[in-house]
Amino acid sequence: MMPMPEPISIDEVNVLTPVEFRQRFGNIIECCPDVAAALSSQRPFINVESMALAANRFLDQLQPQGKERVLLLHPDLAGRLAEQGQLTHESSREQKSAGLDSLSPADKTRINELNKRYRAKFGFPFVICARENKVANIFQGLEARLSNARETELEIGINEVKKICRLRIRELIYDN
């Protein structure tokens, strides 16, 4: 698990080699270095927001199967990977910020059951921007979203990925 690198300026981002760019931004979308490769070729960016918008466009242009693949790269919240300490550095910090690392045994059982039901219904994990939520909101969102149609959940999940991505980019680049 690699720690977060120190933030750099947008000017520094724009002069990274493609390899350096992929190394730095390869996990702005969980375990999806393809986005970094695509964004690298779209430089120069004028600011953090322009890079985040380019990442959004990357996601928006994916076919439904591609969006599903992006969602499948995300771990279950407070799931097996978290229990085994195998989350990416970013996911670990994000889940911890929401309080998912300190669930009671009852809440742990509950979230595992909800995750299982969600994945069985939709075929991909429940994705929510953990940094913008706490445990109660996550449970509420999981329960409420179980009643959605698959197409709706695919779009909601991708919109949550966009929020996560924007926050990750903001951590890697400081505004001038």
Catalytic residues: 74
Residue from 74, 24, 73, 14 nearest 45 by CA: 14
Residue 121 and residue 82 in contact, taking contact as beta carbons nearer than 8 Å? no
From residue 99, alpha-carbon distances to 47, 63, 135 in Å are: 31, 33, 6
Contacts of residue 172, defined as CB under 8 A and 6 or more positions apart, other chains included, come to 4, 5, 7, 8, 24, 25, 28
Backbone torsions φ then ψ of 124, nearest 5 degrees: -150, 165
- Tokens for 60? 């928006």
Chain-centroid distance of CA 67 in Å reads 12
Sign of the dihedral through C-alpha 98, 100, 102, 105 = positive
Closest CA to 10 of 62, 49, 58: 49
